[in-house]
Each structure stands twice: as structure tokens, then as C-alpha cells.
Structure 1
Amino acid sequence: MKKRQKRLTAIADILLNNIVGSQDELLELLLQGGYDVTQATLSRDLKTLRTSKIPTEMGRYRYVMGGVLPPDKDVEKGAAGMVSRAAIESVTMSGQLLVIRTRNGYAGGVAYDIDDLHSPYFMGTIAGADTVFVALTVDAPKSKILSTLSSILPEELLSKRYDAHMRDKTIEND
């Protein structure tokens, strides 16, 4: 893995697992992880990762990543995929609606990643701060929806939803 890609992955990991409110705090955490970078380099990296600052419940601010990256940027895609998988906390399906709960501030990036899948089963998304609503087509089979989402859902959530779907299907078929 190249040096820049490792650094971007490290920044993504830090932002996903810590409340970081300033570049100075992030520079310190990077230094502790063995990455000695300048403020200018960090600013470019934050721009590349499409970070933004959102208010926290405590009245402070924190950096979050939207997971939105240009499609030709293969170096950064690994970090973006990690963001969506780490940001999603739960998935619930009811009729023609899929409700995805995310960590605060990450719903917009997850919605973008879902829209970017270009699935014929998804009519559109609406994102709040921590919730994504996905409108499904009438004939959307649950197994196809789960298969389509497999690239962005955390493995443990995907297997839980699949197992629950199979139990529901068995009960419905009895």
C-alpha cells in the first residue's frame, strides 16, 4: 500500500473512532500513529476524504467523512468503503422502505453510496443526520436488495438481515 493511501486510511480510522474537533487534534493523533504530516498536507487529505464538521451533542464540533469520492480516485476508494461499512449501525426493511441508521453525520455519505449503486430496485434516498430512507420499487425482492447492498453493509449486519429474512421467509411459507 502506498504511503498516501496508508495515511488516508489512518485518517479515516481516526475520524471513525474518535471525536476530533480540530486539525491540531488530528495532527497529534496522526503523529502518535507514526504519521508526521504538515497542516497543509492534512488539509488536502481532509478535502480528499470529503470531511466536514458537524455539531456534537455536547455543543462542540467534530470531523466526519461523507464517503463521497470521485469515481476515478482508486487510491481513496478503500477509505470510502471503510467509511460506509463503519458508519452503518442498523438496517430495517418494511414494505417498500429501507431504513438505515448511521453514526451521527454519516447518513449523507451512505445515501450517496447507495445512489451510486444504480440499482433498479432503489427509487431514491433521503438522508438526515443519522438516518437514510431508501424508497424501494414494488417488486424489489429482499434477497436482491441485500445482495446489492453487500458492498457497503458491514458483514455482521448483512448476515443478521439475511438470517432474519430467511426466517421470515420460512415462517411465511408455512
Structure 2
Amino acid sequence: MKREERLNFIAQFIRENEIKTQEELVNTLLTHGIDVTQATVSRDIKSLALIKVPAESGGYRYDLPKNKEVLQSSLHKALAFDAITGVKMKDNMLWILANPGTTSLVKNYLLEEYGDDIFSIIIDDDSALVVFEIEEEAKTLYNLLTEF
């Protein structure tokens, strides 16, 4: 199962069921034939920006953010970052390698999140050259991309 499909499954399952722990979510996914590790689920929870809210049965359960813009932004980020296969930095520029056909998604995400700091983005089918206004902004994004 692709990451996007898994994220959509988790979001739908969280809407319809009470999940209190990562372990419970891992077991649920495994029961539904989705092979995951706890680390994968942890990243998925972060990508979906899941929050903990009081559960009807006591304690806390996972829930989706009520703000649809937050959820869409989180999914957009996850998909864009998932498409990236490599990154190099030189001065105020980043060269981003991505899966073929996904650089438009990456470009749109970067402009949405970092548009004020970007001078220009040039894309082809599997790479993007991102020119920042200042080197420090390039370093910030480079560090984020290499950690993800």
C-alpha cells in the first residue's frame, strides 16, 4: 500500500473509531493487512497532524484536526516530502531530486510554505532548482528535507 493510501485509511479509521495509542493503531493496520512498524505509524501521525482529544470511554484518543486547512496542509506536506528522493545545497540554492512526474507537487508545496523566501523555482520531470533570497533560508529547508 502506498503512503498516500495508508494516510487516507488512517484518517478515515480515526474518524470512525476510537484509537487511543500508537500500538493500537499499528495493530489495527496489521489486522487490515497493512504492513507497518511503530516508527512508520509515528511518522504518519505526525504527517496527519493528529491530535489527542478526550475519549468517551475515558482517557484520550487520536483525532484529526478540526481545521481542514491544517489537515490538507499536512497531507500536502507528506505527499511532497514523500516524492523527494534527494537534495543538494550550494549557497542560496537547493537542487531537489524527486520521483518522475512529482516535481509540480513539490513546487506547489514549497511555494505555499516558503513563497516569501523563494526567488525562483525551475522544475523538470524529476528535479527542481530552488533559488532562495538568502542562503539561511536554503539551509533551513535543506536541514528539514535531510531530516525527513
TM-score, normalization by structure 2: 0.47
TM-score, normalization by structure 1: 0.41
